[in-house]
Amino acid sequence: MVVCDKVKLDLRGCNGAPDLIIEILSPSTAKHDTLLKFNLYQKHGVKEYWLVHPNDQTVLVFKLLDSGIYGRADMYVPGDTISVSLLSGLVIDLGEIFAE
């Protein structure tokens, strides 16, 4: 979870939606993360939601549109890099993330 607005943070945690949430899926939580959490994060305005599929070695990146819904996911695989739009200059190399 990434929160870019310091005003949202206090001693109890985050007040309001984080800007970025990255979920690493496991077989036991995949349905919950891909359906229930997706809708919850979209409803509350999480700007980016990433689903990391370790077994498939893929990452789906959903970005919130101006209309308040997530657009079609961009899919990334080993060999790809992801430029984190909310954190200028941060690039994640999936070859390193999914290295054996």
Is residue 1 pLDDT above 70, yes or no? no
> Residues 49, 38: contact at Cβ < 8 Å?
yes
Q: How large is the average pLDDT for residues 70-74?
A: 96
How many Cα atoms within 13 Å fall on the side-chain side of residue 20?
10
Nearest to 65, CA basis, from 80, 48, 89 = 48
Q: What is the Cα–Cα distance from 54 to 48, expressed in whole angstroms?
A: 19
Nearest to 31, CA basis, from 48, 51, 11 = 51
> Residues 34, 25: contact at Cβ < 8 Å?
yes
Domains assigned to the chain: 6-97 (3.90.1570.10)
Q: How large is the average pLDDT for residues 61-85?
A: 95
Q: What are the structure tokens assigned to 40, written together? A: 């919850």
- In this prediction, residue 5 carries a pLDDT of 64
- In this prediction, residue 30 carries a pLDDT of 84
User: pLDDT, tens digit, for every residue of 19-63?
Assistant: 889 999 988 888 888 889 999 999 999 999 999 999 999 999 999
- In this prediction, residue 58 carries a pLDDT of 95
- In this prediction, residue 31 carries a pLDDT of 83
Nearest to 64, CA basis, from 80, 79, 44 = 44
